[in-house]
Each structure stands twice: as structure tokens, then as C-alpha cells.
Copies of this chain bind each other. A is one copy, B any other.
Amino acid sequence: MTEMLDLATTVEGLDGLELVGNWHVNNDNIHEVARMFQDRGFKISMLVPDLWTQAKWGKGSIAAPDAKTRQAAVDEVRKVMDWGAELGCSYVDVRPGQDGYDYCFQADYIEAWKWLGDGLVACANHNDKVRVLVEYKLKEPRTHCFVTSAAKVLLLLQGLDKVGVLLDVGHSIAAGENAAEAAALLASHRKLDYLHLNDNYRSWDDDMMVGAVHLVEYLELAYWLKRLVYKGWLTLDIFPYREDGVRAAMQCREWMAVFFRSVDRVGIDKFTEVIRSADACSASDLVRCALNM
């Protein structure tokens, strides 16, 4: 952890990091963790309950067929919420990646959907200092997760005002969404709470650097974030398997700066005007103009 944090201080513009419950934080080290972050001027942007790496979640977490496992998952989220409250971290990230199925005839979709909702209700009000966010994903580790898209998570969270959504841009792209549209949909339901940035080739969550593939989509996302007055975190969820992590993070930062600068170069109003014309040629022209090409 010390090594990771020291490395993090070399990433220009970095304000905070996410931590995974039990991996990085536990009852024994919580005060030490707080101090390590304070010493370096970092915030903990997010605490993530580990609901996917341990064997006990192999058949599901908050929507597991086994009632005790479901309760254990709720307990795990609540515990991490309490840690968050103590650490001044405002969010926990519920990733129900094990909640799904691999094969046909392996899940009772009606029951599972109900269990998902029940589990989130059971977490939502546990600690008012910490907001539960759900991170959707089409697949992995399951070949089919239950909570796959922006629309599906919003449907799940109908009436659950206290639970929000974490939009992982790569998950959105790999789910066949346009991330900008997903962001707008979430925001119009007051649930665009937090962003994970990364890129991929659409068929898998490759967790690549921003700027790898979807430049136009990212530019459009930047426009919508400005238009929607998004004030939340812009965090990186990349997996620099063969790259130097610090350099990879810096590349992402540079690309995000390009996209926001490009929106400013043209201005929100001009973008909105072209959008409302619904004219693809004008849109194409505007993209080149904004990107300074």
C-alpha cells in the first residue's frame, strides 16, 4: 500500500484513489490507512466491497441462490459502508459481477431480480454518510450478469433514491451502449454519481487507456458531462498489463484534457445547436473543428 501510494504521488493531478475492502482496508489497519492518505493529500474516492474474488461468492453475492450468502453480501457492503464513513469516503461500489449465470437454466430470473432489489434496499439506508452505487457490466466473471446496462440498473433502482450508479465507460461501451447517451439517461434520473474511465474494442472490458479507440465517443461524453454539470470523480479503471502504470495514467489524463479542451474550443452552445440540427455532416465537421484537426 505504501508503495502504491508513493507511486501515486508521481501522477500529476491525482486527487484520490479507490480501495477494495479487505484487500486494502480492514478493521485493523483503518486508522493507518487514513493517515497514509492524509499524509499524501489524497482522498479515498471509493471503497469497493469485494463481492467477486472469494470462493464464497462463486454462485452469486447479493443475488446468490443461497439466502445466507445473500445476507453475507449485504453484511459485507454494510461493513465497508461503515469503514467509508470513518474514512471520509462518500461511496461504496457494489459490483454484482458474480450475480448472473453462465449457462441457460442456471438462474431463476424472477427470483434473482427480486433478490437484487431486496439486497440493495437492505444496504441503502445503513449509513447516511455513504451512498451505495451500483456498477453495471454486461458480463465477466459471469458470461451473463444480471445488471447489464444503464437502463437496467435504473429499472432496478426505481424508488430507491438513496442508491446511485457508477458508470464505467468501458462497461458501457462493451455493453453496446454509447456512453454519452448512458450518462444522459443516468443524469436525467439523478443517478450519474461517479465515473470510471477506460476504453476497449467493444466486445470485452479490455480496460485500456483512454484515447485508445473511441475518440469521438469520448468527445461526446465530455460535452455531456459539461452540459449535465457533472461534478463527480473522474477515476481511471485501467489495467496496464504491459505498460508502466504511472505513464499509462498520465496518458489518460492528457486525453481527458484534450476532450474537455475541445468542448471548450467550440463551446457547449455550438455543440447543442448542431446536435439539435440532427445533421451528421455538421456533426462530422464540428468534431474535426473541436479537436483542432
A-B contact pairs, 11 of them (CB 8 A): A58-B242, A65-B276, A65-B278, A104-B178, A104-B216, A105-B220, A149-B149, A155-B158, A201-B202, A242-B280, A254-B285
Tell yes or no: A154 within 8 A of B by CB: yes
Chain A contact-residue range equals 35 or more
CA A113 – CA B59 in complex, angstroms?
A: 36
Q: Are A287 and B202 interface neighbours, CB within 8 A? A: no
Q: Please give me the residue from chain B that is nearest to A154 by CB atom.
A: B155
CA A166 – CA B260 in complex, angstroms?
A: 39
* Pick from B59, B152, B213, B283: contact of A106, CB under 8 Å: B283
Q: Are A251 and B185 interface neighbours, CB within 8 A? A: no
CA A176 – CA B148 in complex, angstroms?
A: 10
For A176, A202, A280, the residue with the greatest tally of chain B CB atoms inside 10 Å of its CB is A280
Tell yes or no: A279 within 8 A of B by CB: yes
Tell yes or no: A119 within 8 A of B by CB: no
- List 4 additional contacts besides A106-B275, A148-B151; criterion CB under 8 Å: A105-B286, A106-B279, A113-B185, A211-B284
Q: Are A104 and B217 interface neighbours, CB within 8 A? A: yes
* Pick from B103, B203, B212: contact of A204, CB under 8 Å: B203
Q: Please give me the residue from chain B that is nearest to A55 by CB atom.
A: B242
